Amino acid sequence: MLASETFPAHRFKESIFKPYSTSGSASVDDLASVNKTLTSAATTSSSPDTHAAVDIAPTASSVEFETARKMLTNNSSSSSNNSNNNNNNNNNDAKDDISGFVASHPAAPFEGFIRACVDEIIKLAVFQGTNRSTKVVEWHEPAELRQLFDFQLRDKGEPQEKLRELLRETIRFSVKTGHPYFINQLYSGVDPYALVGQWLTDALNPSVYTYEVAPLFTLMEEQVLAEMRRIVGFPNGGKGDGIFCPGGSIANGYAISCARYTYAPESKKNGLFNAKPLIIFTSEDAHYSVEKLAMFMGFGSEHVVKIATNEVGKMRLSDLEDQVRRCLDNGWQPLMVSATAGTTVLGAFDDLTGIGDLCRKYNMWMHVDAAWGGGALMSKKYRHLLNGIERADSVTWNPHKLLAASQQCSTFLTRHQLVLGQCHSTNAAYLFQKDKFYDTSYDTGDKHIQCGRRADVFKFWFMWKAKGNLGLESHVEKVFRMAEFFTAKVRERPGFELVLESPECTNISFWYVPPSLRTMERDREFYDKLHKVAPKVKERMIKKGSMMITYQPLRQLPNFFRLVLQNSCLEESDMIYFLDEIESLAKNL
C-alpha cells in the first residue's frame, strides 16, 4: 500500500481554530461556527485582561478575520463545484500523465514514481555502483557523451518512464565516487547514515538562517560545532563560535574575513582603500583557496606571501619569520598565518606550536586549515599530528574528507564568540527582526555571508550519533592502518618508489618506474620519460574503468601518483590490487 493511501481524507486542511467537516462540502453551519470562533478569537486577542502588553488595533484585526471568512466562503463554493474530485488534499489535480504542468507538491500520483526512482538509486548507485566487480567509470569523450545522453531541454515535459531512463543513464555515465577503487580525491565512499541524513534534509528542504524556519537544525549546529571546538581544544570547554560552510575554501575565506575585522575593524565600513597593506602568510603547499579568497576579498595575490616548505612539506618557520620581518620593514601589517594540517598533495602537518609562537610574538591571527587532516583529532593515536591547534584563532575542518561524511560538510570554527556576527552582520530588518517572540540570538543567518544555507549538519550529526566517538576513531585508525600497509608494500616492491619515505597522513605519493626505464641513468632524459608514465597509466585505467587515482608534479619533481585513503571499507587485499593494477597498466611503457 502506498503511504498516500493511508492519509485521512478531508476537504479542508485542519484549521488552528477547529477541524472542518470531512463530508463533501462545508455547510452553512460550519461557516457560521467558524465565523463565531473567529469573532471570539478577535475579541479575546484584543482583550486588555488577557494580553495587556500587546497593542493591536481592533480595526486591523477585524479586517484580517473578515478576509479569512471570505476565503473560507470562496473555498466552500469552490468545493461544491468540484465535489467529485479526489478528496485527499495531497492529490491536487495531478493526473497519471504528469508531463504537463504540475504543482511543485508531492501529490499522491507521484508516490509510485518517487519510490521507483529511489529504488533505482539504491540499486544502481548505492549498491551496484560501490561493488568491487563493477567499473568506477564508463568513460566517453565529450562529443560521444553528448550523443549518448539526452541533455536537451524542451517546451514539453518528459513522461515518467523517460525520466526514469534518464535517471538510470545519469548513474551509468557518472563516476562512482563511492566505489572502493575511487581513490582520486580527498573524498570517497558512501556512508549509509550520512546518505540517509542527506536525503532527509533534501526532503525537508530547510534553510538554516533563522530559528523559526529551522529550529531543530539550529540547535543541532550549535551542539555539533561546540563539540568540534571542544575536540580541537579551544579553552573553556570549547567556547567560541562557528558555522557550517559550502566547502573548506569558503571556511578559509571566513578566517581571512574575521582576521581582517579583528585587526582592521574600520575595513567593514571603508574597505581596504587607503589602508595599510594587510599581509597573509601561508605555505607554498597550502590549498589554493587561501590565495583565491584573498583575491576575491580585495587583498590581491601580491599580499599573500607563500612560505617555503622543507623536504617533507612543512612550512619553514625560519622563512616565515624572515617574511614577517620584511613585511614590518616595509611598513605593512602582518595580518594572519594560515597553517595547514594535512596538505593536499603530501599530507604534511605544519608545526602548529611553532607557528602559534610566531603569531603571538608578532600579534597575528592564527588560522589552521585542517580541512583534510582534522579528522585525525578523533583518534587518540593520531591527534598528536595536530598538536598546537588549540592555540589557533580559527580552524577549517571538513567532515566530508577524512571522516567520510557525504559532500559537502565543511565547518569554520573560532575561539572568538562574537567575531562572526560583528564582522558580517547587516541587520536586514525583513529577516532578522529584533521583536520576534523568541530569543533571536538563535537566528544565525546574519553572521554568515550567505542567506539561504543547507542543513549540512544533519548528515554528520546522524552519522556521529550512529557511530559515536569510538566509531569515528575506529574509522580514522583503519584508514591510517591501510595507508601504513600500502606504504610498506611500496617500499618492498620492485619498480615502485616513494616520494616521501614516511608519509604523515593517508596520502601516499609514489612513482612507478616501468622496466624499460629501470636501467637508465637518472638524468634529464630519464625524468622526462618518467614524467609521462603517470598520465598514460591514468588514461588507461580510466578507459578501462578499473580504478581512479590522481597524479601531479610538485615543483621540480616529475609526475607522481597520489593514493588518498579515507574509505574505511578498504582492506589489505585492495592495497595489493592498486599496486597490481598500476603495474599491469604500465609494464609495457
Provide the residue-wise pLDDT of the chain in tens; the chain has 589 residues: 555 556 554 443 444 444 434 444 444 444 444 444 444 444 444 444 444 444 444 444 444 444 434 433 444 344 344 444 444 444 444 444 545 556 777 788 888 999 999 999 999 999 999 999 999 999 999 999 999 999 999 989 899 999 999 999 999 999 999 999 999 888 888 999 999 999 999 999 987 878 888 888 899 999 999 999 999 999 999 999 999 999 989 999 999 999 999 998 888 888 887 788 999 999 999 998 999 999 998 898 999 999 999 999 999 999 999 999 999 999 999 999 999 999 999 999 999 999 999 999 999 999 999 999 999 999 999 999 999 999 999 999 999 999 999 989 999 999 999 999 888 887 766 666 777 777 777 777 778 888 788 889 999 999 999 999 999 999 999 999 999 999 999 999 999 999 999 999 999 999 999 999 999 999 999 999 999 999 999 999 999 999 999 999 998 899 999 999 999 999 999 999 999 999 999 988 8
**DSSP code for 190:** -
Cα–Cα distance, 547 to 537 (Å, whole number): 11
CATH number of this structure's domain 200-426+435-467, picked from the four choices 3.60.20.10, 3.40.50.1100, 3.40.640.10, 3.20.20.70: 3.40.640.10
Query: Phi/psi at 551 (nearest 5 deg)?
Result: -145, 165
C-alpha–C-alpha distance, residues 76 and 28, integer Å: 9
Instruction: Give the residue among 371, 364, 343, 353 at the shortest CA–CA distance from 505.
Output: 343
Per DSSP, the three-state class of 130 is helix
Long-range contacts of 3-12 (CB under 8 A, 24+ apart): 3/111, 4/88, 4/90, 4/91, 4/108, 4/111, 5/108, 7/88, 7/90, 9/87, 9/88, 10/87, 10/89, 11/79, 11/87, 12/75, 12/79, 12/89
Residue 334 · residue 324 · CB < 8 Å: yes
Q: The cell 558512501 sits on which residue?
A: 190
Secondary structure of 23-42 in the HEC alphabet?
CCCCCHHHHHHHHHHHHHHH
**Cell 595599510 sits on residue:** 276
Cell readout for 508 is: 601516499
The domain segmentation of the chain, as residue ranges, is: 114-180, 200-426+435-467
Which residues are bridge partners to 337 per DSSP? 281, 366
pTM: 0.82
**CA 401 – CA 274 distance, rounded (Å):** 40
Calculate the alpha carbon distances from 296 to 193, 243, 397, 419 in Å.
36, 20, 21, 20
Provide the phi-psi class of 373: left if phi over 0, else alpha when psi is between -120 and 50, else beta: alpha
Which single residue is written with the C-alpha cell 563539540? 227
